[in-house]
Structure 1
């Protein structure tokens, strides 16, 4: 037994230990009557990063129970109280006990710079997932100042990434989530001049280049200037194009969609460049009348385009992205199915892709404490893609899929919902008891207890209004339900009463629009494309958020894909209202 315990503990020395050597037995199997207390924390105590990382990986890949068993093995081995407190906070977080996790993390005291940075990074990341942007930004700012004033800037004792690789970009992205009112109030209340400087820098950025130059002149030596965050230096040096070629379907079956995008582009051009002397010349090319996207692109070059917006169709975006040479930059209005490379230049792909929304609602639910999901989706290519995108994030951050219901169009929907939610089996058990005893049973059906959130991936408002009441009927009305913007059409408030309390994400254009129709989002896409004209070089130089647009917060990934983050809202009285921060 001693040899067995020794081999198990030896297998916990690093996070790269082979899986078969990690403990898979309980305390009873180890012969322990009670768990040993953690070792007292010493001054300048170095955290056991390997133990923390191993438990986190175990929880994400195998679940909370497996993580607890590994945590117990480390306690038997002997870890300090601070490390044990952080591990317990992690387990509570992944179990959905957010308040417990926060309390335990607050109690994790360490005087080492590496330990402080790690704790700050963990708390900041969890505040970000919860949507507590101002709290997360303050933690990111404190972390930057701690790194800059520390005699040891580069941690060398952990393989967990908690250092500030790009000091300002993360803080910048967090601050970009604040609207102008929130930003102004935070700046007015700021006691720390350096913190106030970050807030006023963002205000200046939103006001334009002249305001940003003025900020730089009045803030020499500020922590935001070494280097400037979010590739601001690139943006300050950029010159707007003189000629913009727009590739859109302006005839044929997609004429209405192309015209809506063009309307947004035109509005954006006049708003972004109010001075006629500085406004780029815009000319359009109808892709429906050209043999291919490549020929349309080359025609735009012949016409003198310094930048190209479009095409709108996914297959055409794929063709244009695959070009070996692209001398003039392109802001496509759809994403290719497959990207040729990850380090692509002169190419950005904007989109209203619903996969962004699936990923976002996964993070949103996790931040609000939900951990075990029932996924309901249509039996379609759209539903399959949404499920893949959601699962990728949900499982990656520690969520569990309890069940997935792919709706069968040939079967009764109520029966399918009831079977997945668990009320139908419960009803049948009650019926069997009544038959067996030939008497009524004083019991009511209940749902399955192994899920605490429902991802209702409905493809349109009518489907959502049909499915949401069925969840309530089958005793799942107390479970939070999340959906994409596909469930909101912008009107029919009376019918939307059936969707009350349903949580979703939506574009700012729809939330702020006085008149919303099926083209509102496409117009917003066009408007943001022109806004990105002023930021495309900056976006290629950073992964930070560079634009608070009408389609959401926008940032460019290394493969050229522009990811959008929408607003979090919920149905209340048939209308959408901002989701309160927990």
Structure 2
């Protein structure tokens, strides 16, 4: 089987690529010289630890030191923790250093809360540069583990400055710095381009990679310029000595594209919508030939057609059952592929398999982050009592509990008839009416009253479709007490229908919702695409419109995939949203925010920067109280 293979040229900065901390760290601060008096053996950390427990005095201490080094070499973090805890009872041990080892072991075991708590006990006791550097490094690593690269870099750069000033080697620090920098946008990098020469050198390197990646000559020139400006910078040792032009992550050069979509059966209409999007995108691309293959065909037939087409790249299939079938096929894995659905705990066979889905979970994450950024304490979630509704609610709750101890209120409705009952029950309106009736029965004269709703719910998130949202919002409006502040209402893209919205915006005033830019008026600059689409398919349903945009983006993503996978801080502005890649394979969408205002849809910009995870909030609060 022949097809064009594009060489993955990643020589530049390859030493800085995403490798785990654990593979680089070999030692914490300089250990006692007594450890060197025992010869290293082939014994495992566990056997060395067992021998140490049978000894006493200086021999016991020496064996514990050797066992500790062996545990790090083996990446046996549970054993490292046990050895370090045993050493903590010895008077001759550097106890600050030993606690750093325990914190390091627990960080690697993903016991981040415990690791952070240990580090906070060391504040005010870091009396040597070694202790200070490793404290900052471990603290930064914990921030990095929580996807907080900006906060991590603050600590990493502190550690790097201390290490440079005191001629120390903090193993693994350079790789951690580089990985965190790659998660930043160009705007965030600009904000870090200050401070010490060491910090500016790292940031400039990351900026050059973002700007010139994919352009060999320009990146080569930029690297030479960087070397001149930042001579003797620690990152220089990680750059290849001889670039020879292999300095760029070359994009896929696709001339023959194979597209797997449903062209028969119940999903044929979905395939037709996708096909329109592919044709629109390839019309102005360098792709010379497009081969459409029915994904409902057998695996053998699909592979035969791919071989005949001599495809450079494959997009599809769409249906999850077909994705799961083909992703495991070794012959199919020879083709670089962008699947049009999410993976279910599948590890791609190669680093040339990507997954693109219109995943509603991404919207739920966006809404949750915004609620946290706004400091909402008690959200109320409303969803249909369907499998998908429950799945999205569970996804929200799972993310929310990492930031808040207050659980959201959840309401599932089964149909339009019980929506009002669900809302009045959650808002405790019925209880208020019951109290009013008791008072009325006590007096003969008419009692003026106003129903009160509960006051702790401060935001409502609706996960229903367009018709359900139009039914739910009036119920919410009339059941919120006039004595309470107006509760802000949010919804997902399921609540928006371009078709329904043309004739009936309903009483949706004030409602915020997420939606892909393609569906929103004025959200994309490429209005000519929308105008052409409307002229050709004026009556297309919402799903078909979204699939058109998905296919259009999938085609244009091909040339961006390698760079997006390499740089987690890089994104692509598509019709379906701001697209980036997570875990080297999964395409994540950031959608646009919009609001119904004065019977119009207005684009809005909302904060999505969540607070620290809950365990970090607790530690910071305790640390602040101790300082006071």
Superposition TM-score, scaled by structure 2 size: 0.61
1:387 Cα offset (Å): 1.5
Q: Give 3-state SS (helix, strand or coil) of 2:227's partner.
A: coil
1:331 Cα offset (Å): 0.9
Q: 1:217 & 1:266 partners in 2: Cα distance? A: 42
Aligned to 1:521: 546
Runs of 5+ in structure 2 lacking a partner? Answer: 1-77, 79-96, 126-130, 240-245, 535-539, 610-628
Q: 1:125 & 1:441 partners in 2: Cα distance? A: 59
Aligned to 1:464: 469
Q: 2:101 & 2:374 partners in 1: Cα distance? A: 29
1:175 Cα offset (Å): 0.8
Q: 2:438 & 2:236 partners in 1: Cα distance? A: 73
Q: 1:340 & 1:196 partners in 2: Cα distance? A: 36
1:200 Cα offset (Å): 6.4
Q: Give 3-state SS (helix, strand or coil) of 1:445's partner.
A: coil
Q: Give 3-state SS (helix, strand or coil) of 1:323's partner.
A: coil
Q: Is the 8 A contact 2:183 2:567 kept in 1?
A: no
Residue 330 in 1 paired to residue 337 in 2? yes
How many equivalent pairs are there? 467
Deviations 1:252-308 (A, max 9, x none): 65444334333433444455x5xxxxx3433223416x5335632442133211221
Residue 170 in 1 paired to residue 180 in 2? yes
Which structure is larger by alpha-carbon Rg, 1 or 2?
2
1:246-265 counterparts in 2 under 5 A? 246-250=259-263, 253-265=266-278
- The 1:204–1:463 alpha-carbon spacing in structure 2 relative to 1, beyond 3 Å, is farther
Residue 146 in 1 paired to residue 158 in 2? yes
Q: 2:442 & 2:101 partners in 1: Cα distance? A: 59
Aligned to 1:96: none
Q: 2:348 & 2:558 partners in 1: Cα distance? A: 21
Q: 2:558 & 2:138 partners in 1: Cα distance? A: 38
Aligned to 2:388: 382
Q: 2:138 & 2:436 partners in 1: Cα distance? A: 52
Q: Is the 8 A contact 1:500 1:571 kept in 2?
A: yes
Residue 534 in 1 paired to residue 540 in 2? no
Q: Is the 8 A contact 1:293 1:311 kept in 2?
A: no
Aligned to 2:378: 372
Q: Is the 8 A contact 1:362 1:390 kept in 2?
A: yes
Q: Give 3-state SS (helix, strand or coil) of 1:414's partner.
A: helix
1:316 Cα offset (Å): 1.6
Q: Give 3-state SS (helix, strand or coil) of 1:396's partner.
A: coil
1:245 Cα offset (Å): 0.8
Q: Give 3-state SS (helix, strand or coil) of 1:400's partner.
A: coil
Residue 499 in 1 paired to residue 508 in 2? yes
Q: Is the 8 A contact 1:114 1:155 kept in 2?
A: no
Q: 1:247 & 1:261 partners in 2: Cα distance? A: 10
1:350 Cα offset (Å): 0.6
Q: 1:568 & 1:234 partners in 2: Cα distance? A: 38
- Greater displacement, 323-332 / 141-150: 141-150
Residue 360 in 1 paired to residue 369 in 2? no
- Greater displacement, 439-448 / 460-469: 439-448
Q: 1:400 & 1:411 partners in 2: Cα distance? A: 30
Residue 572 in 1 paired to residue 585 in 2? no
Residue 550 in 1 paired to residue 575 in 2? yes
1:332 Cα offset (Å): 0.8
Aligned to 1:282: 289
- The 1:344–1:188 alpha-carbon spacing in structure 2 relative to 1, beyond 3 Å, is closer
- The 1:215–1:342 alpha-carbon spacing in structure 2 relative to 1, beyond 3 Å, is same
- The 1:209–1:509 alpha-carbon spacing in structure 2 relative to 1, beyond 3 Å, is farther
Q: 1:235 & 1:546 partners in 2: Cα distance? A: 18
Deviations 1:450-482 (A, max 9, x none): 433222111x22222221232121117722333
Aligned to 2:4: none
Superposition TM-score, scaled by structure 1 size: 0.65
The structure 1 residue matched to 2:489, chosen from 474, 481, 484, is 481
- Greater displacement, 313-322 / 252-261: 252-261
- The 1:234–1:440 alpha-carbon spacing in structure 2 relative to 1, beyond 3 Å, is farther
Q: 1:300 & 1:441 partners in 2: Cα distance? A: 79
Cα-Cα RMSD: 4.8
- The 1:187–1:174 alpha-carbon spacing in structure 2 relative to 1, beyond 3 Å, is closer
Q: 1:486 & 1:125 partners in 2: Cα distance? A: 32
- The 1:198–1:323 alpha-carbon spacing in structure 2 relative to 1, beyond 3 Å, is closer
Q: Is the 8 A contact 1:293 1:317 kept in 2?
A: no
Residue 429 in 1 paired to residue 400 in 2? no
Aligned to 2:452: 446
Residue 244 in 1 paired to residue 220 in 2? no
Runs of 5+ in structure 1 lacking a partner? Answer: 1-15, 17-43, 62-70, 84-110, 130-135, 157-162, 274-278
